[in-house]
Amino acid sequence: MSTSLSLHGRRKTRNSVMMTLCVVAAGIGLAWLALILGALVYKGVAGLSLSVFTEMTPPPGEAGGLLNAIAGSIAMTIIAIAVGTPIGVLAGTYMAEYGRFSKLTTVVRFINDILLSAPSIIVGLFVYELLVRPMGHFSAIAGAFALAILVIPVVVRTTEDMLNLVPNALREAGTAIGAPRWVVIKSVAYRAALSGIVTGILLAIARISGETAPLLFTALNNQFWSSNLNAPMASLPVTIFQFALSPYEEWQQLAWTGALIITLTVLALSIVARSLTGRREDK
Amino acid sequence: MTVVSEAMPSAATMRAREATVRRFALTDTIFLAATRLSAILVLLILGGVAISLFAGSWQALSTFGLSFLTTESWNPVTENFGALAPIYGTIVTAAVAILIAVPIGIGIAIFLTELCPRPLRRPIGIAVELLAGIPSIIYGIWGLFVFAPFLQTTVQPFFINLFHDVPGLSSLFAGPPYGIGLLTSALILAIMVLPFITSITKDVFDTVPAVLKESAYGIGCTTWEVTRRVVIPYTRVGIMGGVMLGLGRALGETMAVTFVIGNAHRISASLFAPGTTISATIANEFTEADGDLYTSSLVALGLILFVITFLILAAARYMLMRIDARTGA
């Protein structure tokens, strides 16, 4: 009796120890998030002022803002989304609608999932070889193109998932009244899956707005205002990279402020994207 | 349907209808072609990446041959390049990161699926996933300005003093404490891959049929025993997939590591020493590389990274697909 009791005790102790460790692990995870966000807000807010959004990046040792970097990031993001979204949505459409059971779909899904988590610096090298080297110079177009390649897998994945959730009865109803396949897709499937597809695009924007590695040797950087897409263009992440590693206090402060701006943007986008599909996750 | 509601449509109406049907068919063909082309384009991107990296690195590979993989020297002046130090740094930082992140990630997943009060589950799950959305450059700047000085002044001197008499460990934790270095990079990477591992582990834990767990509880198992003997064996493949996915991320992560690795092309036994990784080397040196052989060597590093991550990610996806197939998801 006593041995079985002590065995019972050992098992209970072991259970409490392991469960305590799990709680500690969760505590560590959350504390780390809090630490990073706390440091970011603390250091970033100090430099937050209107001039950040109205002035150009300064030369070393002077005050200034991040206007050209923010504008460059927005411009390249818009081009990347404009190029990547249609391709991603169409590819996702093929996988969920026309070729749901085809071999091609299986292969594309596998490759797409790999692209989804492939190192972004590899994409930068690819675009360098593809565009920058033949053109002979760095350009905003090359940067936007690199970002577009990162957009495509995200959009493909969400589009396919969301279209797969559309009940087939809806499609059959469309076909039964004589609508051709593309009308069914356009007016029934897309409409039913719209919020999900938009979520995918928002997640893609969130993903690329902080990407630095693919821009380093495609768009490079630019100390000045530039609206020439065929020339190097500043972007927020690359500017942060450059300023943070510099020895100048003003630049480091701007880097923190820029980091705060990016993080807030990304968090806001993720939260909006989440709330768009939130109800579905509750199931 | 009425028997005869109207006269036969006129020839003109018939022609108009035929034209409409033909137009529909044509649009359908075009739309199908456009979607299929886009799907194929995804394949072409990956193929293009492989081909361009191979073409770009040809000069370096043909100059150095296989010794590129085994040479530690990286000398832009004498144009003698070897990938051993970056490969070593990449593997060590990623491996240490995974060693730290896996137990914590699985712990959080157990906490979320078994222990956490229901109202807190979603908020905490979301908070952990938000960590995954933070761009890597943020981790980098935080690591450089906050984390590295903290390690330099407190943690590293402590370990150096603690182990300086212990054989083996003394060289692993040898000083001086720079703050930046392999261990700092590995810790930052661990924080970065933690959300991936956690959310995938939690998802595969949720696929365990309730009846399996209930029958284990029914014969008197504790929560830990249920987790250890039922949940984890049932989801082993999925967890491995999640870990490999995290490993793929850790191997290819660029910006966070570039900030805190120290960029030293040498291999040292100490985890506190500065080192370099493949991605950090490319990020630091690519725009400043002069000479075709230098650039080509950097692209060759990219090719090595591409091959390693491709194999690991493919294995991860294969494992996760097996779990999906079993649950019929």
Give percent of chain A above pLDDT 90.
59
Contact flag A121-B52 (C-beta cutoff 8 Å): no
Average pLDDT of span B70-85: 88
For the range A275-278, what are the long-range contacts, defined as Cβ-Cβ under 8 Å and sequence gap of 24 or more? A276/A195, A276/A196, A276/A198, A276/A199, A276/A202, A277/A195, A277/A196, A277/A199
Angle separating helix axes A140-165 and A120-127, nearest 10 degrees: 130
Task: Note whether A192 contacts B: Cβ–Cβ < 8 A.
Answer: no
Plot region of A220 (φ>0 → left; ψ -120 to 50 → alpha; else → beta): left
Residues 6 or more apart whose CB falls under 8 angstroms from that of B89 comprise B182, B185, B261, B267, B275, B276, B277, B278, B280
What average pLDDT does the segment A221-232 reach? 85
* Residue-level pLDDT at B230: 92
Write the single-letter amino acid at A184.
V
A106 compared with B8, residue with greater pLDDT: A106
Average pLDDT rounded to a whole number, residues A220-225: 84
Q: Give the minimum alpha-carbon distance from A88 to chain B in angstroms, rounded to a whole number.
A: 7
- The 8-class DSSP code of residue B20 comes to H
How far apart are the C-alpha atoms of A62 and A60, rounded to whole Å? 6
| pLDDT of A281 strictly over 50 | no
Which residue has better confidence, B34 or B273? Answer: B34
Nearest to B28 among A86, A104, A181 (CB): A181
Amino acid identity, residue B310? F
Question: Which of B192, B160, B171 is closest to B257 using CA atoms?
Answer: B192
> For B220, which residue in chain A has the nearest alpha carbon?
A8
pLDDT of residue A279: 53
Please state, in angstroms and rounded to a whole number, the distance separating the CA atoms of residues B186 and B78: 31
Q: Which of A105, A206, A259 sits opposite B141 (nearest CB)?
A: A259
**Using CA atoms, how far apart are residues A70 and A51, in angstroms rounded to an integer?**
13
The rounded distance, in Å, linking the Cα atoms of A92 and A86 is 10
* Predicted confidence (pLDDT) at residue B167 exceeds the cutoff of 80: no
* Residue B3 pLDDT class (50, 70, 90 cuts): low
Q: Which helix (H) or strand (E) holds B80?
A: strand B80-81
Chain A residues lying within 8 Å of B124, measured CB to CB: 26, 30
A248 and chain B: CB distance < 8 Å anywhere?
no
Chain A 49-88, residues with CB within 8 Å of chain B CB atoms = 86-88
A159-191 pLDDT, tens per residue?
Answer: 999 999 999 999 999 999 988 999 999 999 999
- Answer yes or no: do B134 and A126 touch at CB < 8 A: no
* Strand partners of residue B275: B262
DSSP annotation of B261 reads: S
Does A180 contact B302 at a Cβ distance shorter than 8 Å? no
**Nearest-CB residue to A36 (from B36, B46, B142):** B142
Which candidate from B25, B49, B228 shows the least CB-CB separation from A126? Answer: B49
| pLDDT of B152 above 50 | yes
Contact with chain B for residue A223, Cβ under 8 A? no
Q: What is the ipTM of this complex?
A: 0.89
Chain B contacts of A105, Cβ < 8 Å? 39
Does residue B261 have a pLDDT over 70? yes
**How deeply is B271 buried, as exposed, middle or buried, from its count of CB atoms within 10 A (0-12, 13-18, 19+)?**
buried
Q: What is the mean pLDDT of chain B?
A: 88
Report the first-to-last Cα separation within chain A, whole angstroms: 47
Using a CB-CB cut-off of 8 Å, the residues of chain B touching A19 are 110, 114-115, 223-224
- Inter-chain CB proximity B38 and A18 less than 8 Å: no
Instruction: Output the pLDDT for position B329.
Output: 46
Compare CB distances from A256 to B106, B141, B317 and report the shortest one's residue: B141
pLDDT digits (tens, 9 = 90+) for B172-228: 787 778 888 899 999 999 988 888 899 889 989 988 999 999 999 999 899 999 999
Using the beta-carbon criterion (under 8 Å), do B145 and A252 form an inter-chain contact?
Answer: yes
Residue B1 has pLDDT above 60, yes or no: no
* A10 at interface of B, judged by CB pairs closer than 8 A: no
Residue whose C-alpha is closest to residue B138's, from A71, A267, A262, A120: A262
Chain A residues touching residue B34 (CB < 8 angstroms): 90
**pLDDT (mean) for A146-160:** 95
Give the integer Cα–Cα distance in Å for B30 and B35. 9
**What mean pLDDT is predicted for residues A14-20?**
91
**A137: which DSSP letter?**
S
> What is B204-249 written as a DSSP string?
HHTTS-HHHHHHHHHTT--HHHHIIIIIHHHTHHHHHHHHHHHHHH
For tokens 């934790």, what's the residue? B173
